[in-house]
Structure 1
């Protein structure tokens, strides 16, 4: 497995990849070849719950705050996002369906 610093350096050279991190001196540690997974792999498809922060015009997602396979964790992340961004439009989705929406204050 790659150390944090070596994987971070590789990530700066190759954006668009996710890395796994482990403590140094793990059996099978190979700093020259960090374990990477392309974004959008099968792993990512198995995570149907998404917490999304929308732009001010509410016409597009500005940032995906959380992605999870578990509904309870998804709702916890959604609840935290509504407290962190009380004036923004925040949604919790399961695949393409809205589970919950936070519109923020109207004034």
Structure 2
């Protein structure tokens, strides 16, 4: 029983460490690729402020948007079309967002930013 409990505690510790790494990588990606056009507040820059985005959009939507914003507009996604209409520009397709892990990391960072809401 003690070995089982030790194993579970060890597993939990590693899962929290992996999660922190995801947020750290997401933060690095944000500062390198997103910060020029987006704020972590509700204030706009070139694009919309990102405060609350993980509460307004589903995880599936965020993954699809990060992977191919123009494709979502072309498909007629109503939210994507409204963003294009409001901001007049479309987020460019980023090489970094073509890997699922990087998309998970940036979403984890944005979720952490939204956690106070």
Please give the TM-score of this superposition, normalised by the length of structure 1: 0.27
Larger RCO (CA within 8 A; separation ≥ 6): 2
Name the structure where helix makes up a greater proportion of residues.
Answer: 2
Name the structure where strand makes up a greater proportion of residues.
Answer: 1
Please give the TM-score of this superposition, normalised by the length of structure 2: 0.26
